Amino acid sequence: MSNCYKKPFLQKVIVRIDFTAKFQLTQKGLPKKVSDALLSIFPIPEPRKVLAKQVQISPAGTIENHEQQNHLFFHGKLRDKTLCITPDFLYIEITKYQTYEHLKEDFCAILDKLNEAEEFSVNRFGLRYINNIELNEDEPLNWERYINGEILHMFDVTGDRSHLSRVFSNIVQHFDDGMQLNYNYGMHNPDFPSKIKRKSFIMDLDAYFQGVLGKDDIKSGIDIAHERIEELFENSITDDLRTLMEIEHE
């Protein structure tokens, strides 16, 4: 996951903000100056019309409303990263991760350019790293070489591992600065409900802040989120896994 590895097992990295009020996207999308700046980072535009569903719950019952929205998608040259802007939220999704510095640079540049088009605040900001450690080895349930033993006790609760078809755990931390860190880890098993046959271990770390946040709050929050995700990931693995991922520097 960390940017100090040449061959991380990162499946996906997502950074997302949810707008407090709807971000106004016209039929033409964004102002040309803003759009041109985004295209310098994500050069393949792909606008879409999406039918969005809104649910309102009141004493009279549940009401569903549908409205057509403009959703703006921009992709990297190799389509290994995507920016999506909608009236309700924005996200960047990366499938070929370079470094945290690259991610932060792109994300902060986008925040600045959007703020030129329309001043905004958000009610949720999140950073998520999804690692899928897949190894071509025998003994798919044996992770002692690679994973911290403290989080492997879940395998022993039943006493007999031979019948396991899914083993998954969840840890949630709530910090004094308002950040929550949701950590899902274990063997989700792509062949479920069949017994586990493949050696595949998920580490899904999702850090987020809720509450009204401005642009500067988000820029400082992404550093905090990344630092805590990185620390928890490093605490979860062993030196043997670090060797597999090829450490670039300490």
pTM of the model: 0.90
pLDDT digits (tens, 9 = 90+) for 228-243: 999 999 999 999 999 9
Q: What is the pLDDT of residue 51?
A: 60
Tell me the three-class secondary structure of the chain, residue by residue: CCCCECCCCEEEEEEEEEECCCCCCECCECCHHHHHHHHCCCCEECCEEEEEEEEEEECCEEEEEEEEEEEEEEECCCCCEEEEECCCEEEEEECCCCCHHHHHHHHHHHHHHHHHHCCCCEEEEEEEEEEEEECCCCCCCCCCCCECHHHCHHHHCCCCHHHCCCEEEEEEEECCCCEEEEEEEEECCCCCCCCCCCCEEEEEEEEEEEEEECHHHHHHHHHHHHHHHHHHHHHHECHHHHHHHCECCC
pLDDT band at 55 (very low <50, low <70, confident <90, very high): low
Residue 43's pLDDT is what? Answer: 95
Predicted local distance difference test score (pLDDT) of residue 3: 47
Q: Does a structural domain hold residue 5?
A: no
Cis omega (within 30 of 0) on the bond before 43?
no
Q: pLDDT, tens digit, for every residue of 57-116?
A: 656 666 666 666 788 999 999 999 999 999 999 999 999 998 999 999 999 999 999 888
- Measured CA to CA, the distance from residue 27 to residue 11 in angstroms comes to 34
pLDDT beyond 60 at 170: yes
Instruction: Assess contact for 107 and 127: CB atoms under 8 A.
Output: no
- Distance CA(46)–CA(121), nearest Å, equals 25
- Average pLDDT value for the chain: 90
Q: Average pLDDT for residues 17-30, to the nearest whole number?
A: 82
Which domain does 33 fall in, by range? 10-245
* CATH code for position 197: 3.30.310
pLDDT in tens, 121-163: 899 999 999 999 999 999 999 999 999 999 999 998 888 888 9
pLDDT at 49 over 70: yes
Whole-angstrom CA distances from 221 to 73, 106, 117, 188, 226 are 24, 15, 22, 30, 9
Count the domains in the chain.
1
4 lies in a domain? no
